[in-house]
A and B are shown apart, each in its own frame.
Chain A
């Protein structure tokens, strides 16, 4: 891509906290082929962070990267990817990334930077001020030890209006692997807070007065934006509403498109009644209410509004006002979040975990959100909560925790599903206090290490949803058979991929989904109905590759993979097709240089393959198939003893999964025996130097030599 390309703003900011040196480098020269997001992050780690570097070593780096489309008017474009040696990856830390929404990424670009590389370690607590070209490392002594809210407020007052603050709380300061960084008090990225703490970096605050240039034709750009809005559904690109409506042929009670005329944001001042037509592009924000979806209709009356990321009309961060929590628990009555973070508190309690329309569950969520987002504690996609439940209910804690500490924990509150229990537990973990707090602050792997609990006790138990390497499944066989399994084998943390699940859960009838599948992946057999799985085949492996590549691509473009790809749409006149080339059309217009779908997908594949290369390099062996791409035993079991491929079972067959992996490796152009790319494959993807280095280290498949 030429230097005058639009989309990119042109510079990467580098801050060395050890020396105080602040410098910039040209984005396109070094990172152009990797677009942004984790693409930049992986490249920096590959080039500059040697194998064996620990997450808290000053030699580890943190790469905050926006994406090529961030800061434009493309819907859902506000994602920041933070790449580093990921501290909760077990038994050894490997490359990983955390992701946050909000407006941090856009501000970074408006300030003139496509990414920020933080290296070294400050000798005292500092925060980083970025105001366009003015970048300064400032003393953070006055906010060190305070929570994220206070820090955000203090720094905002110092910097003035219109800044975005991404800060860590006590968990990060204490270098808890489970620490997270949070921008704008609720948009969080897990696992990287402790790495910031290890660098004595309390916060990064950004103000930017620039803009992102669109190099292509503006009329075509505007037209494409309008088209994109027309194919949006509700959150997770659920393209049919959850209720029958005159404007839609289909509906799905499980859809996240739950807003409809007659519903109210009851805690708004004054309350807002949803009116008008559902298809109106100016009313898309009414479709999603994460609180009402996850917590039940009772949450409508507590809803203030939807909040969200740059240019996103979905607004999946629901803001709630629940007055009772102030008097009962002494916390603010207003909080906001989405998804797992919204349910942070409720999920600790077995009695409340799946509860809808329960006032106690709603209060637990408010308490959990308040504490987690202030102390900066991550849930590891809900694994923290499942771990606590298994440890307590399985008797592990009683047997292993010292009796004094065990007695100091208010278990009676836990037994009674009293949200006040969280006021004790969450600070314990964030402050790494006592044995329980210390172990849970390090993530699931620490449970195995510290208490000598075999990993198998988690991996064999479906209820833990534990997958591998200290992390849980993220939309696996329960949603998407072999495709979900393949995706979950690939990362060093939970997969965080939604490309596949957004499609299978989109709410369209199976027959329509299969038609769309045939058009995109070459066969209607590229997907099955959930729990009605047929044997592995090449189209499913093709869809798994597409899902992974688009996930990396979305991170690199800075668009939300909780919404994209837009393979389906609510539009009957399009046969419910979305547009599989949408990303490449936007990239072409933004940069001013034509890029087709295949070309852009190849860039996504390049990024994904670089992740593979880093994993191989840092694991020090090439046999990914045996040593990395693992599937937990629970996947091959059925609670009722049903055989694989029984209708109504998600049980997979080991031989079939082995075949699925082979199809996948083949489609990736990787060695089937080891699941590793060869030198030639790296070269084909523009990663010749990477392939050569791995080859020289004996980390490419032998068959090739």
Chain B
């Protein structure tokens, strides 16, 4: 492939990822390929059995600035433009059909990174938009799953429920942080 063609292809790949991110979609290499082919852009790419065009696309994607890869729950890498779709949001999108994992991983990352427990109502709001019953059922499932034994809850003195991961927060400190957070609106 000539240098000019390679540049055109890289630009087309970039545009495809950006388009998907702008529409709040994560996109895999094979989907990118499909779109490029449909647009008649990737005709010069080698085809199987000589080479796997998706691997070539992956290599192109790895060199594109601002494009991130996420190892999706499906096991394959998916891509997004960080300026349009943050890593955090991409993770949430990827897990949106796996409620238990979505909850557990979001609770873990909050406990690990900030650190803080999160109010259960967080998951009722955008972008999660889960019904209280769905959240309750998912939490119940998590409590029975060996892999998620770190996910637990606490109730503040005023009755607000918070969720945290014992991998990253000790209960005593989580209780403090939850009480603190719940009191912020009264401590302006």
Q: Which residue on chain B has the smallest CB distance to residue A250?
A: B88
Chain B residues within 8 Å of A246, by CB: 21, 24, 84-86, 89
Q: How far does the alpha carbon of A680 sit from the alpha carbon of B112 in the complex, in Å?
A: 49
Interface string of B100-118 (1 = CB under 8 A from A): 0000000000000111101
Interface string of B56-93 (1 = CB under 8 A from A): 00000000000000000000000000001111110010
Chain A residues within 8 Å of B122, by CB: 253
Residue A4 at the chain B interface, CB threshold 8 Å: no
CB distance from B182 to the nearest CB of A (A): 7
Q: Is the CB–CB distance between A356 and B88 below 8 Å?
A: no
| Complex interface: stretch among B36-44, B46-54, B137-145, B173-181 | B173-181
Q: Is the CB–CB distance between B113 and A509 below 8 Å?
A: yes
Total residues of chain A contacting the partner, CB 8 A: 37
Q: Is the CB–CB distance between A648 and B175 below 8 Å?
A: yes
Q: Is the CB–CB distance between A478 and B180 below 8 Å?
A: yes
CB distance from A152 to the nearest CB of B (A): 26
Residue A353 at the chain B interface, CB threshold 8 Å: yes
CB distance from B187 to the nearest CB of A (A): 7
Q: How far does the alpha carbon of A174 sit from the alpha carbon of B176 in the complex, in Å?
A: 44
Q: Is the CB–CB distance between A244 and B170 below 8 Å?
A: no
| CB-contacts of A508-538 with B (<8 A) | 509-511, 529-532
Residue A298 at the chain B interface, CB threshold 8 Å: no
Chain A residues within 8 Å of B181, by CB: 253-254
Chain A residues within 8 Å of B113, by CB: 509, 511
CB distance from A236 to the nearest CB of B (A): 8
Q: Size range of the interface on B?
A: 35 or more
Residue A243 at the chain B interface, CB threshold 8 Å: yes
Q: How far does the alpha carbon of A511 sit from the alpha carbon of B118 in the complex, in Å?
A: 18
Chain B residues within 8 Å of A243, by CB: 125-127
Q: Is the CB–CB distance between B184 and A244 below 8 Å?
A: no
Interface string of A282-303 (1 = CB under 8 A from B): 0000000000011000000000
Q: How far does the alpha carbon of A649 sit from the alpha carbon of B122 in the complex, in Å?
A: 25
| CB-contacts of A333-378 with B (<8 A) | 339-340, 343, 347, 353-354, 356
Q: Which of B176, B185, B188 contacts A648 (CB 8 A)?
A: B176
Residue B4 at the chain A interface, CB threshold 8 Å: no
| CB-contacts of A244-281 with B (<8 A) | 244-254, 260, 262
Chain B residues within 8 Å of A294, by CB: 185, 188
Chain B residues within 8 Å of A413, by CB: none
Q: How far does the alpha carbon of A356 sit from the alpha carbon of B119 in the complex, in Å?
A: 14
Q: How far does the alpha carbon of A689 sit from the alpha carbon of B173 in the complex, in Å?
A: 51
Residue A505 at the chain B interface, CB threshold 8 Å: yes
Could you write out 25 A-B pairs with CB less than 8 Å apart?
Answer: A245-B89, A246-B84, A248-B86, A249-B87, A250-B88, A251-B88, A252-B116, A253-B118, A253-B119, A253-B122, A254-B184, A260-B126, A347-B186, A354-B158, A354-B186, A475-B187, A479-B187, A510-B114, A530-B177, A530-B180, A647-B170, A647-B172, A647-B173, A648-B173, A648-B176
Residues of A bordering B, CB below 8 Å? 243-254, 260, 262, 293-294, 339-340, 343, 347, 353-354, 356, 475, 478-479, 505, 509-511, 529-532, 647-649
